[in-house]
Chains A and B, each alone.
Chain A
Amino acid sequence: MKPIATTRSATGVPTGRLAVWWLLASEVVIFGGLLGSYLMMRLGHPEWADAAMHTNTWLGATNTFVLLTSSFTAVLAHQAAEKGDGKKAAGLLVLTIGGALTFLAIKSFEWYTEISHGYTITANNFWSFYYTAAGLHALHVIAGAIIMGFIAWDAFRGKELQRVELIGIYWHFVDVVWIFLFPLLYIAK
């Protein structure tokens, strides 16, 4: 059902992988623009440090650990898929999705606590950036987890195993964004 075009590869790189990298290239600029803006404003407004004091570093750190681990399971899934073991790959992808859900649960709890203390998105510009940046990231986590679910389902039945690597690359990117968000929003106090 796929067109002949999809099977060709004049560059030698499988088209799916090429596409994911292009997607990431544009995502880098989106997050880069947002975080760059945040950085410039943060550096120019030392009074934001007051607000920044109130982010929960321990919850942030836990989430960093969760995402790092989920990246690990994602790359192990890729390893399994390469060997043709669809069921194992699917299992590891499910673990990765579990990591995503854990991340989201912790974040929900974290935000609930912060909001009930009055640190809402309109409290001041630090919080506005905080929720916007983390929120945009969380949207990408959700989207990634959903797509990962579909790919895991296919992989379990031994189909489209090459996509395990592709969703993995996307997932690692989501992890890398968080690797930068963590110091920017939590450690820099």
Chain B
Amino acid sequence: MSDTAVAVQHDERHAHDDHHHGPQGILKYLWSTDHKVIAMQYLFTGMFMAVIGGFMAYVFRMQLAFPGISVPGFGQVSPGEYNALVTNHGTIMIFWVAMPVLIAAFGNYLIPLMIGADDMVFPKINRLSFQIFLLSALILLASLFVQGGGFGGAWTAYPPLSAVGEYNQTELGSSLWLIAVALEFVAFLLGGINFITTLMNARAPGMKAYDIPLVAWMIVIASILFMLSVGPLIAGAVMLLFDQTLGTGFYDPARGGDPILWQHLFWFFGHPEVYVVLLPAIGITIDIIATFSRKKVFGYKMMLYTAVATGVLSFFVWAHHQFVAGIDPRMANVFTVTTLLISVPIAELLFVIIATLYGGSIRLTTPMLWALAFMAEFLLGGVTGIFLGASGADIYFHDTYFVLAHFHYTFFPIAIIGSFAAFTYWFPKMFGKMMDERLGKIHFWGTVIPFNFIFIPLFVLGMGGQHRRIYNYQHFPELASAEMYNLREMATYALLVMLAFQLVFFFNCIKSWMNGKAAGRNPWQSNTLEWTTESPPPHGNWPVDEMPNVYRGPYEYAHPDREEDYWPQNEPS
């Protein structure tokens, strides 16, 4: 792969430059195949959908704390609207915020840069993936405004409620919701192929498998997990769509169908899905922590193999979502054991992160704060999962707010904290400016502290027996006590505070983008390849004859032979 190869590439690239700088003008932002532009498209779409999902949370939390209130900015919340709000909040946050931001946006942006490539291997398919994704988002939003309103059968869409229009009262909305989700799957299947093949094949000369930064690995492993697990659900979604629109009886017990089949099809994907979003968040965290501890990752191979083991194990735990659904109790035994087992590799990942911090020269920048908060909050979420994984305890906890608080203590760190960590860390590279550190820290504390005040009350409420998916607890005397309402109000006020602090973030973004200090190439003094090019990188990432070669791993910090405490991967020696 030497001079002749480079010469060939050089020639090809000349042709590339001569008549293909990429589209110009407004088309540059809409029709480009450049992975960085597509990444931005995913990022902004994801952020927009996060605002919508957050607004939904605001509305239904107001209703829960102050039943019957006319919510400012929305009006009174009917039961049907409440169901649609909680359903779409969940669906949007997982499929149109967590996945596009963590995987599609940062995967697209970082992978080619981190492996020293000039783009993804299939740029046009990359563009197509985003277009399908955008279409899916538009269809989902449309579903909220059609006659009958948005689908309200929970993000898990169990039939017969989801299958029979007479039951869910949102016939059109239900089908649009399902089509939107299916299209999103297709977009991510296509995108996943791009990420995996790019990482496998398009690496810079000299970059061996163990020289790839962990975040890139994690995103690719997550893509593989996604691709292997989503199949049965796509089949199941087609079947559900036919039940909804054609009147088939796949899930109709009276016609020989089986609603439990849907549950299995859904959760067989649904469980690996949470690891699909967890692994990238962990990758982001470890990369940031290595940079700001000025230390090598404690166990690179251990993290890699443990992540793979987690992925494999994640296929064996799905029915813990169905312990009380009427599955065979003997299967429940099996799934309890596997569910408890999976906490081991995940704990190991956290231990490696802690070991990396230990003895490091810590720089408490904003991204570092987010990374540390991810660990702390995710840890709390993870341990509460143990209670739920034990089928005996789950008989009580299932469908209570304990479950809800557990998965918010895991999802929020993944989707929100992880996204802010990545965003604040790579903002200088993406926009060429530094973010304001003080505003960043205010935003950080104003998000993380209120977050705990939202969900700890919900744990308590869950232990007190509060069921999920009820729009007005006044209908349930034992759940309508003053103490319980105090907790609901606390959670809602905390949410309002947290939402208010997000304005600081938006202000910081705009201010930094317009007026921020110039970032230079490598403001954080990190080793990985994306920091060796300009900020922001040009089309093609590096000049054609300066494509990097790689000489070492990504985390060579504080190496004894060096004067500086970092050693970029592309420096010869």
Binding site for B on A (CB under 8 A): 1-11, 13, 15, 18-19, 22-23, 25-34, 36-37, 40-41, 45, 47-48, 121-122, 124-125, 128-129, 132, 136
Q: How far is the CA of A97 from the CA of B192 in the complex (A)?
A: 29
Q: How far is the CA of A23 from the CA of B186 in the complex (A)?
A: 11
Which residues in A have their C-beta under 8 angstroms from that of B118? 3-5
A-side interface mostly: helix
Which residues in B have their C-beta under 8 angstroms from that of A129? 250
A37 with B236: CB separation less than 8 A = yes
B227 with A6: CB separation less than 8 A = no
A122 with B248: CB separation less than 8 A = yes
Q: What 1/0 flags go to B243-262 for Cβ under 8 Å of A?
A: 00011111000011110010
| Contact A124:B236 (CB < 8 A) given known A5-B120, A19-B193 | no
Nearest chain A CB to B503 CB, angstrom units:
39
B-side interface mostly: helix
* Residue B547 is within 8 A (CB to CB) of chain A in the complex: yes
B121 with A15: CB separation less than 8 A = yes
Which of B9, B120, B194, B235 contacts A37 (CB under 8 A)?
Answer: B235
Q: How far is the CA of A129 from the CA of B239 in the complex (A)?
A: 8
Q: How far is the CA of A25 from the CA of B197 in the complex (A)?
A: 13
Nearest chain A CB to B467 CB, angstrom units:
30
B232 with A18: CB separation less than 8 A = no
Q: What 1/0 flags go to B446-478 for Cβ under 8 Å of A?
A: 000000000000000000000000000000000
Which residues in A have their C-beta under 8 angstroms from that of B117? 3-5, 8
Q: How far is the CA of A3 from the CA of B228 in the complex (A)?
A: 28
Q: How far is the CA of A121 from the CA of B196 in the complex (A)?
A: 38
B232 with A26: CB separation less than 8 A = no
Which residue of chain A lies nearest to B196 when distances are taken between CB atoms in the complex? A22
A9 with B201: CB separation less than 8 A = yes
A45 with B121: CB separation less than 8 A = no
Which residues in B have their C-beta under 8 angstroms from that of A2? 12, 16
Q: How far is the CA of A9 from the CA of B121 in the complex (A)?
A: 10
Binding site for A on B (CB under 8 A): 1, 8-9, 12-13, 15-16, 20, 112, 117-123, 189, 192-194, 196-198, 200-203, 207, 227-236, 238-239, 242, 246-250, 255-258, 261, 265, 268, 540, 544, 547
Q: How far is the CA of A4 from the CA of B207 in the complex (A)?
A: 16
17 more A-B contacts (CB under 8 A) besides A15-B202, A30-B235, A41-B258?
A: A3-B118, A3-B120, A4-B117, A6-B202, A8-B117, A10-B200, A10-B207, A19-B197, A22-B227, A26-B192, A29-B229, A29-B232, A32-B231, A41-B256, A125-B248, A128-B239, A128-B249
Which of A1, A18, A128 contacts B248 (CB under 8 A)?
Answer: A128
Q: How far is the CA of A5 from the CA of B542 in the complex (A)?
A: 12
B197 with A121: CB separation less than 8 A = no
Q: How far is the CA of A22 from the CA of B226 in the complex (A)?
A: 12
B193 with A22: CB separation less than 8 A = yes
Which residues in A have their C-beta under 8 angstroms from that of B228? 25-26, 29
User: Which 7 A/B pairs are nearest by Cβ-Cβ distance?
Assistant: A29-B231, A33-B232, A34-B235, A5-B202, A5-B117, A30-B231, A3-B119
A26 with B236: CB separation less than 8 A = no
Which residues in B have their C-beta under 8 angstroms from that of A124? 249, 255-256
Q: How far is the CA of A48 from the CA of B202 in the complex (A)?
A: 51
Which residues in B have their C-beta under 8 angstroms from that of A5? 112, 117-121, 198, 202
B242 with A10: CB separation less than 8 A = no
B256 with A4: CB separation less than 8 A = no
B235 with A33: CB separation less than 8 A = yes
Nearest chain A CB to B558 CB, angstrom units:
29
B201 with A18: CB separation less than 8 A = yes
A29 with B16: CB separation less than 8 A = no
Nearest chain B CB to A115 CB, angstrom units:
13
A8 with B236: CB separation less than 8 A = no
Q: How far is the CA of A36 from the CA of B160 in the complex (A)?
A: 21
Nearest chain A CB to B261 CB, angstrom units:
6
Which residues in A have their C-beta under 8 angstroms from that of B12? 2, 4, 7
Report which residue of A6, A7, A13, A34 has the largest number of chain B beta carbons within 10 angstroms of its beta carbon. Answer: A6
Which residues in A have their C-beta under 8 angstroms from that of B203? 8, 10
Which of B121, B189, B192, B207 contacts A3 (CB under 8 A)?
Answer: B121
Nearest chain A CB to B178 CB, angstrom units:
15
B255 with A125: CB separation less than 8 A = yes
Which residue of chain B lies nearest to A35 when distances are taken between CB atoms in the complex? B235
Nearest chain A CB to B174 CB, angstrom units:
18
Question: Would you mind naming 19 contact pairs between A and B with Cβ atoms under 8 Å apart?
Answer: A1-B20, A2-B16, A3-B119, A3-B121, A5-B118, A5-B202, A10-B200, A18-B197, A19-B194, A22-B227, A25-B228, A30-B234, A30-B235, A34-B239, A122-B249, A124-B256, A125-B249, A125-B255, A132-B239
Which residues in A have their C-beta under 8 angstroms from that of B256? 41, 45, 47-48, 124-125
Which residues in A have their C-beta under 8 angstroms from that of B192? 22, 26
Which of B13, B121, B201, B250 contacts A128 (CB under 8 A)?
Answer: B250
Which residues in B have their C-beta under 8 angstroms from that of A47? 256
Q: How far is the CA of A121 from the CA of B258 in the complex (A)?
A: 17
Which residue of chain A lies nearest to B199 when distances are taken between CB atoms in the complex? A10
Which residues in B have their C-beta under 8 angstroms from that of A10? 200-203, 207
Which of A19, A26, A41, A121 contacts B246 (CB under 8 A)?
Answer: A121
B9 with A41: CB separation less than 8 A = no
| Contact A33:B231 (CB < 8 A) given known A10-B203, A22-B193 | yes
